[in-house]
Structure 1
Amino acid sequence: MTSLVREMPAAPSAIALMHFSNRLTFETDCSDVYSSQEAGEVDFVLVDVRGPLAFERGHVPGAINIPTRLLTAEGLADYSKSTLFVVYCAGPHCNGANKAAVKLAALGYPVKEMIGGVTGWLDEGFTLSVVQPAKTPIACEC
């Protein structure tokens, strides 16, 4: 009797090596991003591609917010074409990071997806940064 795992044969080692190596050219994970930040080796721009409200409620520390729809040549003009962007969204249930990666690649930028997104970040036990809403100034009553 063959298990469900072996029902479809595994690829030969050389093909598996190529496949999994290629995947790593397209993605990184939360732990690698966190470790790079902790080591002060941040040679990429971490981009949360969700909307501003979701970003304010909680985002990966060090991330900037550029919603996917705002990833344009004009909006990215200040970034060198060699800038590596690492994009993420809510998590595995969301394809926003994939859509953002497509846009960035089409614009000529190197890009990787941080797999897991916010869900993966929290699953690793890392904390999110929260944007504190501006306090309403109290009018002087003098």
Structure 2
Amino acid sequence: MARKVYLKPPQPARTMLWAQIIIGALFLPFGVVLLSTAEGEARPFAMIFLVIWVVACIAIMVNAAKWLGLVKKGSIEVGEIADIDGEAAGGFAVKLRDLEALKKDGLITEGEYQRKRAEIIQEKW
């Protein structure tokens, strides 16, 4: 069975996530007020940019909140380590198939095939 690998995030990561949430919350109303006061020919472009601004601020805050929730759990799963003896890859069945493929390709003789096959079958599985 594969072991799971966990990573404990450093303290600066938590600080940066909180900074993203706070700065996003401050920049959101600032951008809305500033861009909604545009007049004349700039108004249509300001409204397009306002939509982009609001979506970006909200995305930054939501992403930071999501990661902050993961960080508060204490550790984040980053991967798995497979067993060295090949059990994670299918064990002896995979070894036998690979051996059969070598024999079909003519890379090993019938005697070598039979000898190695007997070794694989005698292994603890």
- Normalising by the smaller structure, the TM-score range is under 0.3
- Compute the TM-score of the two structures, normalised by the length of structure 2: 0.23
**Greater helix fraction, Structure 1 or Structure 2:** 2
Q: Which has the higher contact order (CA 8 A, sep 6+)?
A: 2
